[in-house]
Structure 1
Amino acid sequence: MVKIIPIQRPNPQDRTAENKFYAQVVSKGNTDLERLAYLVSNQSTVREADCYAVLLSLLHNIMDELKQGRIVKLDKLGSFQIGVRSEGAASLEELTVNAVKKVHVNFRPDARMREMLENVKFTLQ
């Protein structure tokens, strides 16, 4: 179960409006590549060190492919793609690469991941 807590926040579009309560997920901690390697190794005949090496290689290759402008699709997980936030320009000629202010990674879950999200159960802490 995923725990949520109530958080009181103002309306960013109307600061004079009364605050409202919103649900916020409470994290139970982090899982890193080392932990994933341990979990995978216990579910297969592959050694933990080998799993870790493969996961690190996967990470390295995902980053390389993203830097080349490709969408990285991991079947049954989802797709990763670089996205940007930029300033607007009045004309096409005025738009330069300097308009890019922030770079981020977009993740689009695959059908199996979306299905999991639809079935998440919550409990109020």
Structure 2
Amino acid sequence: MSIIYKTLPRKNPQDMAAPEKFYAAVVANGSVDFETLAEQISNQCTVTETDCLAVLNALEQNIVYELKQGRIVRLGKLGNFQVSLSSTGLSTADEVSAQAIKATRILFRPAKKMRNLLKNLSFRKASS
């Protein structure tokens, strides 16, 4: 299997007068939802699809709960989820408060097995 990519023209945001350059971008090949994953998992083991879906739903709820507590969620060979933030820089430590926080995001750090997957990908250009 190959990952399909297309080419996209992009301007240089630091020099809008510069000519566009072309870059590769992945073309999504669909998506998979919880129900499909639950069905696939149930076909690979003795657990029912309904039980798999219940476990996946509980996993989602618990990941959200733990992230709200400021914890790193470690999912074994999959990777880790963690909340990150960016804030305004201030002159002294005493000036820094919750109001200085500008944005938050969730970081995903893939585990070694997931990172190794990236080393063995093949690519195919989308037909025009």
TM-score (norm 1): 0.94
Deviation at 1:70, TM superposition (A): 0.8
- Give the structure 2 partner of residue 25 of structure 1: 26
TM-score (norm 2): 0.92
Deviations 1:63-104 (A, max 9, x none): 111111111111110000001122222322222111222211
Identity among equivalent pairs (%): 46
Deviation at 1:3, TM superposition (A): 0.6
Are the structure 2 counterparts of residues 85 and 17 from structure 1 closer, same or farther at C-alpha, using a change threshold of 3 Å? same
Greater shift, 51-60 or 25-34, is seen at 25-34
SS of the equivalent of 1:27 reads: coil
Superposition RMSD on alpha carbons, in Å? 1.1
- Give the structure 2 partner of residue 124 of structure 1: 125
| Mapped partners of 1:41, 1:16: distance in 2 | 55
Q: Which runs of 5+ in 2 are unaligned?
A: none
- Give the structure 1 partner of residue 106 of structure 2: 105
Deviations 1:8-43 (A, max 9, x none): 000112212211111110011211111111110111
- Give the structure 2 partner of residue 79 of structure 1: 80
Letter in 1 for 2:28: S
- The 5-angstrom pairing of residues 1-125 of structure 1 reads 1-125=2-126
How many positions carry a matched residue from both structures?
A: 125
| Mapped partners of 1:89, 1:22: distance in 2 | 38
User: Where has structure 1 moved over 6 Å in runs of 4 or more?
Assistant: none
